[in-house]
Structure 1
Amino acid sequence: MLFDTHVHLNVHQFDEDREEVMTRAQNAGVTYMVVVGFDHETIPKAIELAEEHPNIYAAVGWHPVDAIDMTEKELKWLEELAEHPKVVAIGEMGLDYHWDKSPKDVQKEVFRKQIQLAKKVKLPIIIHNREATEDIIQLLKEENAAEIGGIMHCYNDSLDYVQECLDMNFYISLGGPVTFKNAIEPKEVAQAVPLERLLIETDCPFLAPHPNRGKRNEPAYVKLVAEKIAELRNISFEEVSEATTENAFLLFQIKR
């Protein structure tokens, strides 16, 4: 049994074959998923998919690239959606310094507000980080995000920051990059993170793992991530599968 903790089955790339994609995931042993909504279009679709499928859950948040578009109305909307029984996290949220649509100060303010919301509704948070690690860690500390914890989604930083994340009650989630031939840091992280604090994901349709790199990613491929982690840690695939699934159930407070 595998748990893909971060999918975007709610985006247009899956409009033509969404059901077939989910069938392939099930055939690959991917039993549970969290569909992450991040804007006006994808949030309702995440909720819809969670309502239609018993083993699919939703996360709702506002992506940092679009922080400039978020108002108090959207924040209130997220708070209302947090009451939905299939919503298990707030996010993805965070900071993205690669794109310049939203100024850094606006991103930080929207990030703070979503952390505060998550603490209010008592849900973990899912962190999107692109070229902003130190600012993210500082802001998480300032807002005492350890109170709720969450996921460092698609962690792609060095080992230097792992312990600070663990100390703040965050899980480290690894995706396709851990399988890339020249990706040294994700492999080091995969070996070093305690198994009880590790999660797996695809972030589909993005970041497809080897040997599908460059193609559309899909949840079935999370098996390749788990297999690579097992190889790197010199443990069985079953051990990685069981541990990461149990970790996800614990974090998301899902009862089996």
Structure 2
Amino acid sequence: MIHVDRQRSPRDLVGKIDRLFALSAGKIRSIERTWRPDAGAPVFTVQGRYQARGWTEWTQGFQFGSALLQFDATGDAEFLDLGRSHTVHRMAPYLTHMGVHDHGFNNVCTYGTLWRLAREKRIMAGEWERELYALALKVSGAVQARRWTRLPGGGFIYSFNGAHSLFVDTIRSLRALALGHVLGQPLMEEQDEKISLLDRLVQHARATAQWSVYYGRGRDRFDVRGRV
């Protein structure tokens, strides 16, 4: 049985949170010191050492986004400088990457975090810098929405496995479409057809709910309520 201690407050966690970010700082510095950029993005570990994985570099945004979140939590400008510099100089190819469903991971974690920090006035960012981050998010949202498989009455953003592939975790990349929509960006198709990023977001979410989530209705032997 779980006994809930209702006397605890957020203040009780301060020591553990400080410890968390102290450890995180060391890990971020270690990766920055030892990782070779030409090796690709660090994806998984072998005997405690990060390795790349050839199918897609879906963790590059986590590498630099972690530094930005470290700054967000601690105010240590070392990590802002690290995350901002790498975002501007190394993340541009991911903005127009047509071959992946990972725009939320890579671009929202980097350009999106910088955009938020600038809006919150947590960082000094001039008008053109803020516009750069916003433009990046507009481009990313539209490019991600372009990766589309049509279904009767809707469709979905397909994964790197091909047009048949509806990944449940792609739901997390809908953030890219949401931010693009908030910033006023449509997807422009052939003959100037204008497609709403919000509509595609909703259609993908509906397809995920219909085909990738089990509800315990006897659909098949795997149909356990809540399973994905």
Same fold per superposition (TM over 0.5): no
Looking at CA atoms only, which structure, 1 or 2, has the larger radius of gyration?
Answer: 2
Q: Where is the strand percentage greater, Structure 1 or Structure 2?
A: 1
TM-score, normalisation: structure 2: 0.31
Name the one with the larger helix percent: 2
Structure number with greater CO (CA < 8 Å, separation at least 6) is: 1
TM-score between the two structures when normalised by the length of structure 1: 0.29
